Amino acid sequence: MKHIQIRNSDMAWHIAANIQFPPNFDESKQYPAIISVHPFGSCKEQTSGNIYGKALAEKGYVVLAYDASF
């Protein structure tokens, strides 16, 4: 997993995100990708990242899970 911040000059804050990678990830290869958004009242560390993100990464997807609080 990699922690990143998405920066946008139009916004007053940065968006925190995690990227989950498939096992044996190889940067020279291409992978299908999914953006996973958590349900209301949750955060990226809960359902979208730690549950769905990990499961989808195990299936071969690169998964971006971000905090959609704002």
55 vs 68 pLDDT, higher one: 55
Work out the mean pLDDT of the chain and round it to a whole number.
Answer: 86
Mean pLDDT for 56-60 is: 97
Residue 49: domain span: 2-66
Q: How many domains does the chain have?
A: 1
pLDDT band per the 50, 70, 90 thresholds, residue 70? low
Which residue in this structure is represented by tokens 């997993």? 1
Task: Give pLDDT, residue 41.
Answer: 67
Task: Give pLDDT, residue 8.
Answer: 79
Task: Tell whether the model's pLDDT for residue 49 goes beyond 80.
Answer: no
Q: What is the pTM of this model?
A: 0.81
